[in-house]
Amino acid sequence: MNKRVGVIMGGPSAEREVSLRTGQGVLAALLSRGYDAVGIDWTGAAHDLWAALRQERVEVAFIALHGTFGEDGCVQGLLECCAIPYTGSGVLASALAMDKVYSRRIFDQEGIESPRWCTYRGAADVARIGLPLVVKPAREGSSVGVSIVHSEAELPAALERAGSLHGPVLLEEYVRGREIQVAVLDGEALGEVEVRPATEFYDYEAKYLRNDTQYLVPAPLTDAERHLVLDLARRAHRALGCHGATRTDLILTPSGRAVCLEVNTLPGLTEKSLLPKIAAARGIDYATLIERILATASLKT
Ligand SMILES: Nc1ncnc2c1ncn2[C@@H]1O[C@H](COP(=O)(O)OP(=O)(O)O)[C@@H](O)[C@H]1O
Ligand SMILES: [Mg+2]
């Protein structure tokens, strides 16, 4: 409580703007609860961040970054080297969760159901997965580069879109069903939201640009369905070795199959973000949630 907290926000990734909003929200919440907190707007090179942490005499870091460097283990590694405890997942879990190929390998091994998948090398892979299928880059977020391919004719453009981004290209079985996201805090599932996009899937537009995406908290689920999705998220969080707060994206099929798409290790934390909405439905107000996440700060190596 009496340690100086640095809220690291901004960063060089494509999600810089969202991160600044998360960071401002977190900082305001910590100040309102009497913490000695300071915002650190990281604008670029790694040594700038290190210099700012030293200058501000930061003793604990609240990571409010998203995407490249912030979410993939890089900043976590820098904080480990500086012996500054930080919120969220460690180096390995962050890197694994950010990479859909490596996280899928762990899911397969741990019996966590995810869509049938392979990395794209040629036409035989397309035949193996079958149409419709989903094409996505291994290391992106915000649905950037994700396409649903219904016919052979749509394939080249989808492969090019995903191929121009970070990491190899994945092909996945298209899973039809309801889109559910589950919040996990410190190993405990807090609850879930159902996302109903007005677009064909929960794409970048539906996430950030449109106002006709519906969010239902809690999701209208039967007890058995809720148990299934919360359990899947808890197991996925644990399988990757995550810490602190995560948000798992999954699909619940009409036949009652829960299929894990990914675990987000630094979910959005503006007051309007999904994880705070889920927490609020559990009676955990925004500032209390932020305090609880801060309380999980640690060194993991
Ligand atoms: N295999 C799939 N079947 C059906 N829809 C999918 C599938 N994979 C992704 N989607 C859709 O694309 C969105 C983004 O995919 P996701 O794997 O969560 O990547 P991102 O890291 O970009 O959020 C999902 O929220 C969902 O709407
Ligand atoms: Mg997602």
* Helices 223-239, 100-110: inter-axial angle, 10-degree rounding: 110
The pick from 202, 207, 210 for probing ligand 1's pocket by mutation, whose C-beta has the most ligand atoms within 8 angstroms, reads 202
3-class secondary structure, 279: helix
Ligand nearest to the CA of 145: 1
In the chain, count H helices and then E strands.
Answer: 11, 12
| Range list of H helices, 33-173 | 46-55, 74-81, 91-98, 100-110, 123-129, 155-163
Domains and CATH numbers, the chain: 4-88 (3.40.50.20), 97-112+176-265 (3.30.470.20), 117-173 (3.30.1490.20)
Catalytic positions, written as ranges: 15, 142, 208, 247, 249, 262, 264, 268
Question: How far does residue 30's CA lie from ligand 1's centre (Å)?
Answer: 33
Angle between helices 286-295 and 16-32 (to 10 degrees): 90
pLDDT in tens, the chain (301 residues): 789 999 999 998 888 998 999 999 999 999 999 999 999 999 877 778 999 999 999 999 999 999 889 999 999 999 999 999 999 999 999 999 999 999 999 999 999 999 999 999 999 999 999 999 999 999 988 899 999 999 999 999 999 999 998 889 999 999 999 999 999 999 999 999 999 999 999 999 999 889 999 999 999 999 999 999 999 999 999 999 999 999 999 999 999 999 999 999 999 999 999 999 999 999 999 999 999 999 999 999 8
